[in-house]
Chain A
Amino acid sequence: MNLRYAWTEVVGRPMRTLAAILSVALGVAVFVSLQAYAEGYREAARAPLVEVGADLTAQRQGAVPEKFEGMVFPHSVAPIHRAEIDRIQHVPGVHKVAEALFFWSFEPKGFVAGLGLDPADAFGPGRLRAAVVLGRFIQPAESHVAVADSTYAQQQGLAVGGAVSLDGQAFTIVGLVDTTRGGQLANANLYIPLADARALAVVAPQVRSVFDIQPDDANLLFIKTDQARSEEIAAQVREILGDKAIVSSGHSFAAELGALFALIDRFGLVVGILAFLFAVALLVRVVAGTLWERRREVALMRAVGWQRRNIVAQLWGETLAQALAGGLVGLVLAALVTWVMSHATVAVPVPWELSPSPHFLPGGASAVAVVVTLSARLTPALAAWALGLVAVSATLVGLWLPGRIAQVKPAEVLRGE
């Protein structure tokens, strides 16, 4: 291919070149923007889990308590027994499981949502350690201590050093935490050591009346997994916990994002590819038009001794150059679109089951959501994919059409002069 000749042809036909570049640019911009948009939503859907540092949460539906007295388990967090937790820990791809015990406690002074946690856990509710606003966090092996949500503490007049009663047992408040900084999953008013919560649960009449609670059970699991396999692992966890399992993953939160995201998630790739194919069709039209204009030039090439492969290589190079220029322009357009999109916010709904509060309390059934900015961005991998598609398409177009025009019979074309 002669670069000088290719360059003079590309710049010497500015309207044709512009049409080719714009065709490809629009296709690439639509394709890349849709993928960036969908990926931004997928990343947003992972936000509730990212906030607690887990890839999955697991719980199980159970029975509704007979009475709302003392300690009860909401029906969305039935006990998960030790044998089941051990099986989950041994699922290939599971790195670690953090256990917790979520409960409600109906005290004489009012309702308390509580969570028993292991303060040694680096993820799950253990991350609340970073959300302490006053005092300190629970230390491993401590007993009968609690940290309180700062808003709850303010409403109830609780202070660090004070005491709070749970199901008849006193807990010393050692710190206040800003729960919102620890995520929106399993939000509670009081956080106590897991061992204390278990000890309360196994003797709680309203827990025992509906569940076969064991001393080492949990009812909420935060699971860290091999991220590439998290959906496959979620399916295995569901199998272990049975048909009443509630396993939350990036996909399940994505399902909460509504119809628009569902459409983009399902059809974004298809629509993007269709837009790209439409752009390729426009490119075919432009290149075909250009080659029709240049058929005498092609005939001349044959007449002065160019072989077919010389002609195809020359015209392919010109098509590829125009398409790649269009691809680069399309990436710039897509970068602008994704920049605008990255200023939008997404509210990811957190299902009631993941942070339950009694319906009969004021605001008890109100929707909780994690609000994050849409992380739509043009990644190098996406850009490389788009340019790769452009190169492959331009090569196919650039070999097909010039291959046909190179078969022109010079005598027929040059005869008319």
Chain B
Amino acid sequence: MASDLLQAIDLRKSFGELQAVRGVSLQVAPGQFVAVMGRSGSGKTTLLHLLAGLEQPTAGQILFRGQDIGGFDEDKLALWRRANVGMVFQAFHLIPTLSALENVAFPLYPLKMSAAGRRERAASTLALVGLSDRADHRPSRLSGGEQQRVAIARALVNGPALILGDEPTGNLDGATGAEIMELFGRLRAETGVALLIVTHDDKVAAGADRVLRMADGRLSDEEWNCRD
């Protein structure tokens, strides 16, 4: 649909003989929260990497705001991600030598902007995730939940329309995971960002507008969660 933020059409990905993604089609509307659930090896992480442009599909199309990103080269895809997509990983992937604030500013480093402007934008984004008081802390001095908040702030700092999350609560205990999902929900409400999160955690999926189930490289089921 023209109003879709992201649309995948018959997406396929093979690694040699292994068919990791077999003809997946899906849509994400602006501001929508979509969860993709599946067991390990079901192909959900590969699907996420395809949608993020980190992996080239073997076949199929990915449209972002109606534009096919399949023809983009690596650098154009990087610029596209910088402008439109934030990524959150299970293992946080923070730079250990940088402070929390600097980690948030990390995607801004290649941009031509003043150090003060970069710092200001990173600080305001860090405030969004409630970590202003930890701005100067290195990742090693932050808890797992705090590290993931920093990673979420890093994903938001460029003002993306879509956040792609790969098991963002996978390394966190239940309570902290719930806090992170609550944060995602709040940020979605405040910024209008769409979320597509792959997970095997039912509690994460419970907060989604749509839950897509994936097995053996295919989407096997789709549920809509009703909200009051």
Contact = CB atoms under 8 A, between A and B. Distances in A.
A305 B82 CA distance: 4
B142 interface: no
B55 A411 contact: yes
B148 to A, nearest CB: 13
Given A305-B158, A308-B75, A414 B93 contact: yes
Nearest to B80: A305
A410 B95 CA distance: 15
Interface in A292-315: 296-297, 300-310, 314
B154 A4 contact: no
A360 interface: no
Q: For this complex, into which size category does the number of interface residues on chain B fall?
A: 20 to 34
B102 A5 contact: yes
Interface string B162-173: 000010000000
Contacts of A300: 93, 95, 106
Nearest to A310: B110
A308 B82 CA distance: 13
B96 interface: yes
Contacts of B98: 5, 8
B78 A307 contact: yes
A362 B45 CA distance: 98
A86 interface: no
B91 interface: yes
Contacts of B75: 307-309
Contacts of A4: 102, 115
A310 B83 CA distance: 16
A306 B109 contact: yes
B182 interface: no
A409 B15 CA distance: 14
Interface in B178-216: none
Given A12-B97, A417-B93, A306 B54 contact: no
Nearest to B98: A8
B65 interface: no
Contact of B81 (A296, A303, A310, A409): A303
B81 A305 contact: yes
Contacts of B166: 414
A2 interface: yes
Contact of A304 (B81, B91, B115): B81
A415 B83 CA distance: 23
Contacts of A310: 109-110
Contacts of B52: 303
B110 A296 contact: no
Interface string B96-120: 1110001000110110000100000
Given A5-B98, A304-B154, A417-B89, 16 more contacts: A4-B115, A5-B95, A300-B95, A303-B81, A303-B93, A305-B78, A305-B81, A305-B82, A305-B110, A306-B78, A307-B110, A310-B109, A409-B54, A414-B54, A415-B49, A417-B91
30 contacts: A4-B102, A4-B115, A5-B102, A300-B93, A300-B95, A302-B54, A303-B81, A303-B93, A304-B154, A305-B78, A305-B79, A305-B81, A305-B107, A305-B158, A306-B109, A306-B110, A307-B75, A307-B78, A307-B110, A310-B109, A310-B110, A409-B54, A410-B49, A410-B54, A411-B49, A414-B89, A415-B45, A415-B49, A417-B89, A417-B91
